[in-house]
Structure 1
Amino acid sequence: MHDSSATASVRLSRPVSRRDALRSAAALSALAGLGAASVSAATPAAAAAPTLIDFAMHQIPAQDIRAAGHSGVVNYVSLSRPGSSFGAKPITRPYAESLTAAGLVIVSNYQYGKPGGSAPSDFTRGFNGGVADAHTAWQLHTAAGGGQSAPIFFTVDDDINRDTWNNVALQWFRGINSVLGVQRTGVYGGINVCQWAAADGVIGNSRTAGHRWAWQTRSWSHGQVDPAAVLYQRIVSTASTPGPIVGGQEVDVNDVLAQDCGQWNLHP
């Protein structure tokens, strides 16, 4: 998930009111019956799929997201790196509630470090780093109202090879699993990373048959899409190829490939 910078319902500790039930139904309808079509591993995701946006600079008002035609967001459950101050990191409960009230969906993502940034890439932090990152991610996720069984997608924002996966990134995911369990762990990365994570059993399964918690970016994917992915980052905003502007900032755009893509309200 690039720092150019989801079906959502805030977890409640009280009985669900009629108003909350209606909000939850509205959020679910944002994705129900819309997409979720499987795609060929050799074919880009269909442009007609529902879309979620991801971003970091500041919180985009819910009405702007709806006006742009998107169904929700993938938002950070991580802090800003030293020297940076991203207004959308981490997601807050008031912002999550505003998205939910507007019928938008929320999916949780963790990314603190970045290649070449002021903190090293998270996946380089080993088993103990994975343990620490999972605790941080879960605390921020639940503080914002994230569902107790919802997955968190952990980021490999780099073009790594199989040796680096086996000897470095995999150990980080094992640490995450030791805290969250496999079923609440997801991965963000290129097609190889998504498929390695699934083959090594460190990410969980969507309730949509044949899909798992893989959020694939087009970067490093050579024009292919993993048919088991739940999200596909079709537009990656960069300095040379900026993404669309929503709420005054450039955003990345993600096609929804499964009705259950890890959105909070399906995982209370």
Structure 2
Amino acid sequence: MGAAAAGAGSPPAAAAASRLIDYAAHQIPAHHIRAAGYAGVVNYVSLSRPGTSFGAKPITRPYAESLARAGLVIVSNYQYGKPGGSAPSDFTRGFAGGVADARTAWQLHTAAGGGRSAPVFFSIDEDISRDTWSSVALQWFRGINSVLGVQRTGIYAGIDACHWAAVDGVIGNSRTPGRVWAWQTKAWSGNRIHPNAVLYQRVVATASNPGPLVGGYEVDVNDVLAQDCGQWNLHP
């Protein structure tokens, strides 16, 4: 998944065995990520919610450049609100909210040096029903699509919402055949992995189930399921 292979136009065959980490609290130095054996990061292109101050939200250009220099890849994710947080879940904000969130995400993504054709994964960080998807979340994604287009839109969610997003045509396609911009979390997925996802969040750090430490900070861990999982260096 390294920059050299991407520059040559041929993603390495080992990509499917790679792992990425995601985290919000701190900008973990690149050398710690490399030393821990990870291929890169999923990092936020969103701001911290009111009353919070996450060091890794949003990703900055100097930090992104330090990761790239170390041969690490970057995938963009947007999440501002959270269930029970100081801002409501983003997907509840409707079409207009999707438009606003997409504009913010793209401004932060490009300011940090993100690829112009790279996707942004937008988060549904809770378990939702099919009715909630169809009546609420889908409208948010349509708003996102109106700004970014379907091909630059991805989803982070449990397996069902990933499936609905793919079926309803609001997320784009990976260059890896048969894969779509679905970053699936193990939460709300019942030990199932969607056959078309590009990333699978295998370790979700919680108080009762801590994640591994990288550079002294707790992280989530994601399996890379496709050579093209939306990393910036494949989507200049």
When normalised by structure 2's length, the TM-score is: 0.97
Alignment partners' CA distance in 1, 2:212 and 2:108:
28
AA in 2 matched with 1:140 = L
Q: Does 1:34 align with 2:2?
A: no
Hey, what's the Cα distance between the residues in 2 that align with 1:191 and 1:148? 27
Matches for 1:90-169 after TM superposition, within 5 Å: 90-169=58-137
The answer to whether the 8 Å contact 2:98/2:144 transfers is yes
Match of 1:182 in 2: 150
Listed as ranges, the gaps of 5+ residues in structure 2 are none
The structure-2 alpha-carbon separation of the partners of 1:265 and 1:28, relative to structure 1 and needing over 3 Å to count, comes to same
Residue number in structure 2 paired with 1:11? none
Per the TM alignment, residue 34 of structure 1 is displaced from its structure 2 partner at its CA by 1.0
Following the alignment from structure 2 to structure 1, what is the Cα–Cα distance between the partners of residues 24 and 31? Answer: 18
Contact 1:27 1:103 in 2 (8 A): no
Is residue 206 from structure 1 mapped to residue 185 from structure 2 by the alignment? no
Structure 2 residue identity aligned to 1:34: A
User: Which deviations, in whole Å up to 9, do the C-alpha atoms of 1:207-253 show, x marking residues without a partner?
Assistant: 00000000000000000000100000000000000000001111000
Match of 1:225 among 193, 216, 220: 193
Counterpart residue type for residue 32 of structure 1: P
How many pairs are equivalent? Answer: 234
Q: Check the 8 A contact 1:26/1:103 in 2, yes or no.
A: no
Following superposition, which runs of at least 4 residues in structure 1 exceed 4 angstroms of deviation? Answer: 26-29
Secondary structure at the aligned position of 2:122 is classed as: strand
- Per the alignment, residue 227 of structure 2 pairs with 259
Between 1 and 2, higher relative CO (CA 8 Å, sep ≥ 6) is seen in 1
Q: CA deviation at 1:27?
A: 6.5
Please give the alpha-carbon distance, in whole angstroms, between the structure 2 residues aligned to 1:240 and 1:27.
38
Name the CA distance, whole Å, in 2 between partners of 1:70 and 1:161. Answer: 34
Mark the runs of 5 or more structure 1 residues left unpaired by the alignment: 1-6, 9-23, 37-48
**Contact conserved, 1:191 with 1:217, CA < 8 A, in 2?**
yes
**Alignment-mate amino acid for residue 63 of structure 1:** H
Per the TM alignment, residue 35 of structure 1 is displaced from its structure 2 partner at its CA by: 3.9
* Structure-1 residue corresponding to 2:164: 196
The superposition leaves residues 166-197 of structure 1 with CA deviations (integer Å, 9 ceiling, x where unpaired) of 00000000000000000000000000000000
Out of 45, 48, 51, the residue aligned to residue 77 of structure 1 is 45
CA distance in 2, matches of 1:127, 1:83: 26
Q: Cα deviation per residue 1:58-88 (whole Å; 9 max; x = unaligned)?
A: 1000000000000000000000000000000
The superposition leaves residues 8-49 of structure 1 with CA deviations (integer Å, 9 ceiling, x where unpaired) of 7xxxxxxxxxxxxxxx306679x611143xxxxxxxxxxxx2
- TM-score scaled to structure 1, two decimals? 0.85
- Is contact 1:27–1:100 with CA below 8 Å preserved after alignment? no
Cα distance in 1 between the residues matched to 2:118 and 2:232 = 6
Provide the rounded CA distance (Å) in 2 between the counterparts of 1:96 and 1:54.
14
CA distance in structure 2 between the aligned counterparts of 1:116 and 1:221, rounded to whole angstroms: 21
Letter of the 2:145 partner, please give it. Answer: N
